Every structure is written in C-alpha cells, then in structure tokens.
Structure 1
Amino acid sequence: MPSHSRRTNPLINPERPRLALGLEGSANKLGAGVIKHTEDGSSIVLSNVRHTYITPPGEGFQPRDTALHHRKWALEVINDCLLKANVSMHDLDCICYTKGPGMGAPLQTVALVARTLSLLFEKPLVGVNHCIGHIEMGREITGAKNPVVLYVSGGNTQVIAYSRQCYRIFGETLDIAVGNCLDRFARVINLSNDPSPGYNIEQEARRGKRLLPLPYATKGMDISLSGILTSAEALTYDKRYRPDGKQKSPEDEDVITPADLCFSLQETVFAMLVEITERAMAHIGSKEVLIVGGVGCNERLQEMMGIMARERKGEVFATDERFCIDNGIMIAQAGLLAFRMGQTTPLAKSTCTQRFRTDQVDVIWRA
C-alpha cells in the first residue's frame, strides 16, 4: 500500500475542526463557500453563495466578459459568504480555488483573488480540479460509496469510476460536452439564458409531443454530440417548423415545434449517456450511479438513469441545483480533503490550466 495510507488518517480523526474557503469561477458562475470538517470526519456546509453572469437570449458568454463579471462581483460574493458562515478570514485553515478545467480568463481571475487572499491573510492555497470538486461534493451530499460517476456539464461529459487512488475516465465526449450542446441549441431557437439555457430546454421539452429522428452516436464508451446538434439545428429550417408552435390549418398536423425539437434532442442525448453509464456499471460491477455537474439537475436525465439502474437492481444518486451547478462549496470540500492529507499548492505553482483532466489528480484521501 502507498506510504501515506500507513500514517494516522486525519480524515478519520482530525485533531480539531477544519475550515476552508472555496472559490469557483471556471465558467459563468462565480461561487464562494465555507465548509467545516468536524472531529468525527463529517462535513458541514456553512455557506454557499453564487452569482451568475447571464447574457441576452441568443448569445453565449465570452471569456473576457465573464472574467470582468467575476472581478466585479468577487468581493461581494466572498464577503457575503463569510458573513453567512459567521467566520472571518483569520478563522480559515486554507483557501481553495479552481485550478481547472474551464475558461482561461475567468479561471485566472479567481486564481488571482485566491492568491491575493492567501498573501494578505497568510493562509495556504489548495488548487482543485473542478471535476473532482463535483464528484467529492456529490459523494458527501448523497452518501454514495463507490459509484460510477456521470459527470455532465457545459464543458465536460465523462463517465468515471474510482480505482487505486485515481478517478479513471471510462468514456467521454469526442467533441462538445452535453451542456454545450444544449446551450448552443437554446441559442438557435432563441431561448432565454435566465436562469440557464439548459433549464429552459428542459421546461420546453416537457411540452414536446413528437420524437424526431436524430443521429445516435455512441462509439464504444465514448459519444459524439456535434452531429446531433447540427441535425437539430437543420430541422429549424424545415418547412414544417413553426417557432410559435401553433397549428393554423389541417395541413399543419405534422408541424415541428420548438418543444418537439427540445424533447427529441434531450431524449436522444440522454439515451446515449445512459447507455455508456450502464456499460461502465457492468464493467466494474457497481450498483450505484452518481450524476454530477450542471446538467445533472435535469430531472428527465435522472428519471431515465433511474429506470436503467432499477433494472440492474441499482440506485441513482443526484443533488439539486445548490450542489449540481458550479459552486464554491464543492471546491472547498475537495480542497479540504487534500489539505488534510498534507497537500497544498505553492504560490509559484498556483496557476490555472484549461485542460486539467480528472485522471491527472492523485486522490490520496481515498483508501
């Protein structure tokens, strides 16, 4: 066994409670959260504050504008977070920030804030992998022990399982992430970005009545989503497509509505995700599925995954939007787990990387 497993495990019997501030800003959500690890090893969420950069309908968010948003709101979000947690910067044991993956400019903005606070208050830094933050927070909230993880967000789509102190990627997208696919289609049909385009696609899909044929592209354990997005977009130019969704004459019985397109896109993409997740479950013999990431809030995805899991006599674990959508508390949780095992990030190495893969992290806090 690795040498660190032979020492007294501070995760089981810490000598005192530990406090961490987590800062997240890899995309359009700026989050700050304070978490407390008690003497018995349990976690207590003291605060979890978030502010989202929302663009007009039909527009995405650009790195430069998103970074400006994070700069504008950083102090207010952090102060609000500390106030709700009823702690000061001096009470913290460490400051955790998102090292990657994500958008370059927003990542750098949050890293700069974290470095500044570290220097001002002489607190150690812990750089955190964004994906690991989602997984560890999901495990903590749901109580899942050793699940197959489906990580679905705006920038990532991966099927993951833990083995030998590493979260190993069994399958992933070969092109765009599922959240990006849904967001881009929302822009095509001019859906609002408030609170998020993915949420509004989910609401629109509930009114859909027709399952339209779209490309189904699973390739082993991987999936491809760019083709299905192109095909769904092409249907908006079909002569049967009516943006208002109204049937104006008997000849329009086969009319295609935005709701039909959203329904068809969701059903097809989610079916692909369920398929590759089931393959991973069969491979490692797991009965648990943990869904994390922003798209993990989607109730239809949870429902479809639940049907599959029940057929395998398994169980699905998922969280609500407080912990599914990018937030600071997940960074605090993963960062504090690493900190309590002696891991910190030197100031000289407190950089960011847009392509920080899940399987590059040494998960030394798991036996």
Structure 2
Amino acid sequence: MTRVLGVEGTAWCASAAVFDAETDDVCIESDAYAPDSGGIHPREAAEHMRAAVPEVVEAALETVRERYGDPATELDAVAFSRGPGLGPCLRIAGTAARALSGRLAVPLVGVNHMVAHLEIGRHRSGFDSPVCLNASGANAHVLGYRGGRYRVFGETMDTGVGNAIDKFTRHVGWTHPGGPKVEEHARDGEYVELPYVVKGMDFSFAGITSAAKQAVDNGVPVDDVCRGLEETVFAMLTEVSERALSLTGADELVLGGGVGQNDRLRGMLETMCEERGAEFYAPEPRFLRDNAGMIAVLGAKMYEAG
C-alpha cells in the first residue's frame, strides 16, 4: 500500500505529514507562524518557513524511521502544496520537497492546496457525491463532486471568508488569526444587523467587513459586532450550501477549510442538514487548518492514479 510524505507551506503554517494508505493513519508535524501584530507579513512568513520547514520535515522523517524503517525504502512519494499561496513561502516548501524527493529517489507529486482542503473531508467521510463547502482564509466556494470531478456552483465575489474576518480583527487591533478571537467575543455579544449579500449561490463579504468596522468606530460594543459578523457570514454560507443540496438532490455535505473550525458555523450547517435529512461531515480541526496531512492524502491518491 502507498505511503507518502507531504509538505505544506503555502502561507503561514510549515507542516509535514506521513500518510499510510493501508492503515489510513496520518501523522502531522506543524509549526505555525504567529505575527507580533496585524496579519500575515509575506517576508516574515517566508523567514519562518525557511527555519521551520526543515524541522517539521525532519520530524516527519523520524516518524517514518520509528514506525516503518528507512525512508528511502518505506516511502513511495513526496507530495507538496504547489499553490495557491504566497510566492516566497511556496518556493521554500517546494524546494524542500524537491530536494527530499531527489535524496530519496522517489516521485514528486504537486498538489493543489484548495483541492486538498476538499479531498481530506471527502476521503475521511466516505461520502460518494457530496456538496462541499470550502470556508478558507483566502477562498470560499460551494461545489459539487460527482464522477471524479468538482463543479463550482458558487463562490465569493470579492474576498475569502477568513480574510474578511481577519480584516475586521486587524481594524480593532487583534493579531492573526482573527477567527478564534471573533468566536470568543461573539459568545458574549448581542446580534447586530450587518449587510447580507447572497446572489444565487455567489456571495460577498466586503460590505460586511466595512459595516462591521464602521459599527465599532461608532461605538457599538465589539462583542455585539462579532456576534453579528458570525451570524451573518455563516448564515450566508449555510444558505448557499442548502441551495446547492437542493439543486443537485445530494444528501451529503462536507465542510473544509480553516474557518470550518468555528463551532457556530458547524452547528448551523449541521442543523440545516438535519432538517433536510442530509448527512453532514466536518473533519477534526487538525485537518481543517492548513496542514500537510491533507497534502499527503491527496498526493497518495494522485500517485496511485499515475
């Protein structure tokens, strides 16, 4: 059976993982960049990757040695995230993966980071033809999967859902990542109405972010704005997911992407699916945030497909 080492380094998290297809076991080593202020600074993120990628790769190789034996004989391929992402970070992770592939004399498999976010949920859920909601930092899509292909039904018309939240949190002086901080403050807040923009199965977050910033500047308690931000953004994503289920007649929904770690989003999607008689699956948090486990899993599938 296939065994692959994956390398992830698209933006802020240096990660390496080992996936064993026979046991479906995934061991992940990660070291995330945490800026002192504001959002992700590309130069600082690249400096973090330069230091952290060799360390997480070596930790993954040590896992191979302890569990299976010599990496040169026990690994079938090296997979890496080839994009989308920040160019300087991608170059560092890609160079490390190519060097490791050459050193071990095994094939190198380039993986699309966004497809990996979708595939890890589909793989672990066992669903056949699900609707997939990708709620990531720089992206947001609702897609259908059938016959080995994804079809995009709707997407953000401006910014990704995670970036929209992070823009608000930078405005109020909170550091990256902003999502967990909004989730924490929203628990104590009262709902504040913000723009709700859904057009068919496309959606927009730019106006919501601007309105949330303005509300805080006008003296609305930040906890209340966080509550309104969560309720509005996640209701939009739940609406388009339900619309995609209705359009396709599917009865399976998979959530992917780092924003999928939010309990409120997961709860809204789960409730919607229960009311429709559909099944809902969200991977455990370690597979939702940026991680090399999803890269290794998709890389193994691509390696096996030739």
TM-score range, shorter chain: over 0.9
Q: Secondary structure at the match of 2:45?
A: helix
Counterparts of 2:181 and 2:279, CA distance in 1: 27
Counterparts of 1:334 and 1:320, CA distance in 2: 17
The match for 2:54 is 75
The letter for the 2-side match of 1:76 is: E
Asked if the contact 2:129/2:146 (under 8 Å) is kept, the reply is no
Alpha-carbon offset, residue 163 of structure 1: 2.8
The letter for the 1-side match of 2:71 is: M
The match for 1:93 is 76
Asked if the contact 1:26/1:101 (under 8 Å) is kept, the reply is yes
For 2:119, which of 118, 132, 136 is the aligned residue?
A: 136
Q: Secondary structure at the match of 1:340?
A: helix
Counterparts of 1:132 and 1:192, CA distance in 2: 28
Asked if the contact 2:186/2:224 (under 8 Å) is kept, the reply is yes
The match for 1:19 is 3
Alignment of 1:1-367 (within 5 A): 17-38=1-22, 43-45=24-26, 47-57=27-37, 59-85=38-64, 86=66, 87=68, 88-90=70-72, 91-193=74-176, 196-209=177-190, 211-238=191-218, 241=219, 256-342=220-306
Structure 1, residues 175-218: CA drift from partner, whole Å, max 9, x if none? 1000001111111112243xx32111111111112x21211111
Asked if the contact 1:302/1:316 (under 8 Å) is kept, the reply is no
Counterparts of 2:40 and 2:119, CA distance in 1: 27
The letter for the 1-side match of 2:200 is: G
Structure 1, residues 296-351: CA drift from partner, whole Å, max 9, x if none? 11110011111211111112110222111111010000011010111xxxxxxxxx
The letter for the 2-side match of 1:148 is: V
Counterparts of 2:76 and 2:139, CA distance in 1: 30
Asked if the contact 2:80/2:295 (under 8 Å) is kept, the reply is yes
The match for 1:361 is none
Counterparts of 2:166 and 2:76, CA distance in 1: 38
Number of aligned pairs? 302
Structure 1, residues 259-291: CA drift from partner, whole Å, max 9, x if none? 111110010011110111111101111111111
Asked if the contact 1:93/1:123 (under 8 Å) is kept, the reply is yes
The letter for the 1-side match of 2:45 is: T
Alpha-carbon offset, residue 219 of structure 1: 1.2
Alpha-carbon offset, residue 132 of structure 1: 1.6
Asked if the contact 2:35/2:41 (under 8 Å) is kept, the reply is no
Higher alpha-carbon deviation: 137-146 or 272-281? 137-146
Structure 1 unaligned spans of 5+: 1-16, 242-255, 343-367
Counterparts of 1:84 and 1:114, CA distance in 2: 17
Counterparts of 2:182 and 2:125, CA distance in 1: 26
Counterparts of 2:75 and 2:155, CA distance in 1: 36
Alpha-carbon offset, residue 33 of structure 1: 0.3
The letter for the 2-side match of 1:68 is: E
Structure 2 unaligned spans of 5+: none
Alpha-carbon offset, residue 102 of structure 1: 1.5
Counterparts of 2:125 and 2:146, CA distance in 1: 20
The match for 1:365 is none
Counterparts of 1:28 and 1:180, CA distance in 2: 13
The letter for the 2-side match of 1:234 is: Q
Structure 1, residues 208-248: CA drift from partner, whole Å, max 9, x if none? 12x2121111111100111110111111221xx2xxxxxxx
The letter for the 2-side match of 1:25 is: G
Structure 1, residues 107-141: CA drift from partner, whole Å, max 9, x if none? 11111111111222211110001122112211222
Which is higher, the Rg of structure 1 or of structure 2? Answer: 1
Structure 1, residues 144-192: CA drift from partner, whole Å, max 9, x if none? 3321100011111000111333211110001100000111111111224
